[in-house]
Every structure is written in C-alpha cells, then in structure tokens.
Amino acid sequence: MHIVGGLYRELCDIPFWDATMGSGGRAAMAMIDLSPGSEFHTYASPADDAAILALQSRGVVATTVARPSSIVFAYFHPLSSPHVEPPREALSRLPALQVTGEAVLRFGFLEGDAIVTADRAVYDPQTWRNPQPFSANGSTADELALVLNELELREAAGMYNLDQAALCLINKAGAQVVVVKRGACGASVYDAAGNVSHVPAYRSSKIFKIGTGDIFSAVFAVYWAERKMPAAQAADLASRSVSLYCETRTFKFDPLSLSQRHPVAARVGARICIEGSTESIGQRYTLEEARFALRELGMEVMNPETEQEAGAWSADATLVIDDGLSPQALIRIRKHQVQGRPVVVLHERSNTTISLSTDIETTDDFASAIYLAAWAAGESVALS
C-alpha cells in the first residue's frame, strides 16, 4: 500500500497529546501490521526527522520532500477546532508529489499536493474548503473510492441532501464508491450501481477524536483497495477500528478485537438535556462547549438553567456536567432517573465529590461524555 499524506505535529491540552502524525503519518502507523512494507510519501522538515525514523524502524518505507518548517495543529480538547501554525494562508505551496502504485491512499495536504496513478485509489480530501476533485491535478485510477465527512461531501457536490450529494459526486468524479463518515452515527456507503449501505459506529469507553477520520480511511483503504473487499464490509472494519483507536490511542486492529466491538445507535435529531451550573465563567464555558459539540453531532439540546421553555421539553437522554449543580438540577436529574431516561455524567475533577449516585454512567473526559450522551439518546429513541 502507498500512503501519501501530511506529517504534522499535533498538540492537545485536555487530555494531553503531543505527537507528530497528521493524516499520512497516522495512516502509516495504522498499516504497519495490516499492510507490512507500506510506502509513505510526504513533506517533512528537520523537526520531523524523529517521526520519520520511528516509522522506518517499524518497517515503513518513507520518502520525503523537504519542507522549511514543521506544521502544528493545536487543540484545546479533541472536539475543538485546531489552531494551525503557521497559518494556512501563510504556507507556500510546494511542488506536487508523484506516486504510482497498485493501491494508493491519498490525503489532501496543507502545503502541497499529490499526483497519483493507481489501479485502485482511495481519496480523502481532508478539507471542506473548496475540496479539489481527485482528477483535477492529473491523478488517475482504474477504480476510485472517495472518503469524506458530511460537510466535505456537501461542499464537494454543492447540495445538502446526503443521498443526492453522494450520487452526484459518484457521477462527477467517475468513482465506484463514496463513503460518508458521519461521526456518532457511523458511516454511509454508496456505490455506482445505486446501492446504499449503513455502517454503525461502535462503542468505546473513551473517545479520543483526533485522527479518527485518518484511521477510518487507512483501514478502509487496506481492505477495499489492497485486499479488494466489498466497500460496505471494508467500511465496517474501518468503523470497528476507529472504536479501538478511540479507546486505546494505539494501532492494533486484530480480528478478534474488532469482532468484539458493539454497535451503537445515534440518531440525528435525538434530544439531550444538559444539566450544569452557570455561576462561573468556567462552568458556563463547559456547558456551552457541550451544547455546541452535541449540535455538531446533529442532536437537539436544551439547558433548563438558561432556557425557560425547557420545562415542557421531553429529552431522550440527559448529560450532566457535575460541577456545582444546584439543588433544582439535582431534583430534575433524579426525576429523569425515575422516568428511566439515560443519564451520562461528566465528572472531570477527582478532588471533588460526585453529587450523584455512582450507578450512573460517569466519565472524566469531555469528548467521551459528548459521544456517550449522543449514543444514549439514540438508543433511547430506538427503544421507544
């Protein structure tokens, strides 16, 4: 397998993360066991030498073109928008890489491009900002699969409806397959014959979102482009692999572990009540971040502390930010429990007392709480 993609440093404050990976580097790590001897093509600066040497020591064949400086993505938490340094607009475009192979995974770059010639190619543009068609730079493939998230698909096709956008893109790009990554809702697979398959997301006890799309594309590429597995089956293995990566932050995707993952149900439009204090800036910030993150996943969200109409609002699940909850909030949460509504608790600080019973699903990680709440709401809808 040939991988062509970015090698970028990634920083995250909460939880702590400092690694030089990017889409290409992470995909190369994911393929060390799945496709031994894979070839990785990228741009790199002297600051990236240690990351290249680490990949080579694991058997990856790395080919690099010089870049003047490292590129850094800095996150506050894994669901936040990253700060990029140097800024995107300050990056000079480097000459395009040339990659030829039977099976090629091509990612979009910040600082350059890749012209690919392949029997089977998988293309993940990695941006919603005017995503370029696979063939726009002269790339060719006998068979092509496009892997995009929902926003990238809508921007590439110029239409909002996912089904229509995917079929439009298949025709425009001459692709055999379009795979749409849908976050907590799994993925949808479209093919040129008009078939549509849905692949669920799989449960993780922890959710580490940085690079999950890279893992999906990498595993999908191995099974579809290299092993020529049906697209829906390859996407299912990719979704299971994302679940393992989220939980462990490692790159071991053995068949036994994948077979033991459990599907979850998330529903766009499911309703989530957020309970949390608004007395301090920190408390209000966490509440608003949670509200924004859940809406990004397609959930409807209400907070009784700030929205008076919440009293008449029926939720499918409750997310509790356990930090200085008011007596009224505690009463509402206990009522939700009595009613059988699933409750997920974010309890970040170990030096504070949990104000709720310990039989509720509790996590100390923000991103995990968001996804656990979305899944709980979806499963509640499915059972109703």
Q: What is the mean pLDDT of residues 348-374?
A: 82
pLDDT score recorded for residue 312? 67
pLDDT at position 354 is 65
pLDDT above 70 (res 358): no
- Name the superfamily (CATH) of residues 271-383: Response regulator (3.40.50.2300)
Please state, for a pLDDT cut of 70, what percent of the chain lies above it.
96
Q: Mean pLDDT over residues 309-327, rounded? A: 85
What is the band of 194 on the pLDDT scale with cuts at 50, 70, 90?
very high
Would you call the peptide bond into 15 cis, given omega within 30 degrees of 0 as the criterion?
A: yes
Give residue-wise pLDDT tens across range 205-240: 999 999 999 999 999 999 999 999 999 999 999 999
- Can you tell me the mean pLDDT for 36-48? 96
- SS3 of the chain: the string is CEEECCCCEEEECCCCEEEECHHHHHHHHHHHHHCCCCEEEEEECHHHHHHHHHHHHCCCEEEEEECCCCCEEEECCCCCCCEEECCHHHCCCCCCEEEEEEEEEEECCCCCCEEEEEEEEEEECCCCCCCCCHHHHCCEEEEEEEEEEHHHHHHHHCCCCHHHHHHHHHHHHCCCEEEEECHHHCEEEEECCCCEEEECEECCCCCCCCCHHHHHHHHHHHHHHHCCCCHHHHHHHHHHHHHHHHHHCCCCCCHHHHHCCCEECCCCCCEEEEECCCCCHHHHHHHHHHHHHHHHCCCEEECCCCCHHHHHCCCCEEEEECCCCCHHHHHHHHHHHHCCCCEEEECCCCCCCCCCCCCCEEECCHHHHHHHHHHHHHHHHHHC
pLDDT band with cut points at 50, 70 and 90 for residue 310: low
> In the prediction, which pLDDT does 360 show?
81
What's the pLDDT at 359?
A: 67
Instruction: Give the whole-number percent of the chain exceeding pLDDT 90.
Output: 82
User: What's the fold here for domain 2-264?
Assistant: UDP-N-acetylmuramoyl-L-alanine:D-glutamate ligase (3.40.1190)
**What's the whole-number mean pLDDT along residues 23-50?**
96
pLDDT, average across residues 348-356: 69
Q: How confident is the model at residue 27 (pLDDT cuts 50, 70, 90)?
A: very high
Q: Is the pLDDT of residue 69 over 90?
A: yes
Q: What mean pLDDT is reported for the chain?
A: 93
| Confidence band, pLDDT 50/70/90 cuts, at residue 16 | very high
Domain positions in the chain: 2-264, 271-383
pLDDT of 145-171, one tens digit each? 999 999 999 999 999 999 999 999 999
Q: What is the per-residue pLDDT for 351?
A: 64
pLDDT at 170: 95
Give the least confident one: 8-17, 123-132, 188-197, 254-263.
123-132
pLDDT(353) > 80? no
Q: What is the CA 16 to chain-centroid distance, rounded?
A: 18
| 38 has a pLDDT exceeding 90 | yes
